[in-house]
């Protein structure tokens, strides 16, 4: 269902498989394939105000989940920031898909040393979320 998304070029603000995807563009595409349209958020090149706004958006429009994680669910992370500034999608079996400039879109494990300490939480859209 998502294997064709692996290796897609990273593009800041990208919303197209052909031209490239950023982390939110990839998350929107994965959720769309599971039947849920996520709203679009555009963060200009990780501007600090934009990162904080994105974090507040997720906290207010999504419900945190734990335990037996549903597929798909958002994996919200941080890079050198007090707030979340990166997102991936949990796809089951302890794995998530995400897009970064350094690695394009790829699948990694949520329990890997590189990620486990940077994961803030797992989220699903609140009921009735409009796209």
Q: What does the pLDDT read at residue 126?
A: 85
Tell me which H or E stretch contains 115. helix 113-116
Q: Is residue 131 part of a domain?
A: no
The pLDDT > 90 percentage for the chain reads: 53
Task: Name the range with the highest mean pLDDT among 11-15, 94-98, 114-118, 126-130.
Answer: 94-98
Domain containing 53 equals 3-125
Give residue 130's pLDDT band: very low, low, confident or very high (50, 70, 90).
very low
54-66 b/e (C-beta count within 10 Å ≥ 16 → b): bbeebbeebeeee
Average of per-residue pLDDT values in the chain: 84
Strands (E), the chain: 15-16, 20-21, 62-65, 73-77, 86-92, 95-100, 104-109, 119-125
Length of the chain: 131
Count of domains for the chain: 1
Q: Is residue 46 part of a domain?
A: yes
- CATH number at 42 reads 3.90.1720.10
């Amino acid at each position: 269902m998502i294997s064709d998304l692996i290796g897609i070029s990273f593009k800041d603000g990208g919303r197209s498989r052909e031209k490239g995807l950023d982390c939110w563009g990839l998350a929107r595409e994965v959720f769309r394939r599971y039947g849920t349209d996520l709203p679009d958020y555009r963060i200009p090149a990780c501007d600090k105000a934009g990162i904080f706004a994105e974090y507040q958006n997720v906290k207010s429009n999504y419900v945190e989940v734990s335990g037996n994680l549903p597929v798909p669910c958002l994996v919200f992370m941080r890079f050198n920031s007090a707030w979340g500034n990166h997102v991936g999608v949990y796809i089951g079996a302890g794995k998530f898909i995400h897009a970064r400039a350094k690695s394009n879109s790829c699948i990694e494990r949520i329990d890997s040393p590189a990620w486990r300490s940077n994961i803030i939480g797992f989220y699903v859209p609140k009921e009735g979320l409009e796209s």
